[in-house]
């Protein structure tokens, strides 16, 4: 069956970067996009962008453009999301999800940014 397994929780200082991985199994990795969504404490879901796992094409949400980089390694069926210049507002649970629609989700990665 389909699984998306994300890397573990991270604690970062303001100004640092974080890279979250999302390893897919149970399906052909390059047949589906991977999208990234985050949820800050007490907030709703916020879309960050997607990556075409076949071509590598990307689409970022305007909010994150210039700070986020999404990549993938097809040899190990893994997608990555790197967010730079972290602030406390970036403290959130980050999810990867297969799309579309967002039918399978990773378990989430808590990123805590402290000053």
Partner 1 sequence: QSVLTQPPSVSTAPGQKVTISCSGSSSNIGIHYVSWYQHLPGTAPKLLIYDDNKRPSGIPDRFSGSKSGTSATLGITGLQTGDEADYYCGVWDSSLSAEVFGGGTKLTVL
**Chain residues in the site for partner 1 (CB under 8 A):** 35, 37, 44-47, 50, 59, 61-62, 95, 97, 101-108
Polymer length in residues for the chain: 115
- Tokens 């100004």 correspond to 15
Q: Residue 2 or 15: which CB sits closer to partner 1?
A: 2
User: What's the closest the beta carbon of residue 13 comes to partner 1, in angstroms?
Assistant: 26
Q: Residue 16 or 93: which CB sits closer to partner 1?
A: 93
Q: Is 2 helix (H, G, I), strand (E, B) or coil?
A: coil
User: What's the closest the beta carbon of residue 37 comes to partner 1, in angstroms?
Assistant: 8
Q: Residue 55 or 62: which CB sits closer to partner 1?
A: 62
User: What's the closest the beta carbon of residue 32 comes to partner 1, in angstroms?
Assistant: 13
How many contiguous H segments (helices) and E segments (strands) does the chain have? 0, 11
Return d(Cα 34, Cα 58) in angstroms, integer: 10
Do residues 84 and 17 make contact, with C-beta atoms less than 8 angstroms apart? Answer: yes
């Amino acid at each position: 069956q389909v699984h998306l397994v994300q890397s573990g929780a991270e604690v970062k200082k303001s100004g640092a970067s974080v890279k979250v991985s999302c390893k897919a199994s149970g399906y052909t990795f390059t047949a589906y996009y991977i999208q990234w969504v985050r949820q800050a404490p007490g907030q709703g879901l916020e879309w960050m962008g997607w990556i075409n796992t076949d071509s590598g094409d990307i689409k970022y949400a305007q909010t994150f453009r210039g700070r986020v980089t999404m990549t993938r390694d097809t040899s190990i069926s893994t997608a990555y999301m790197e967010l730079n210049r972290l602030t406390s507002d970036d403290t959130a649970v980050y999810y990867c999800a297969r799309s579309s629609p967002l039918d399978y989700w990773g378990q989430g990665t808590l990123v805590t940014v402290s000053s």
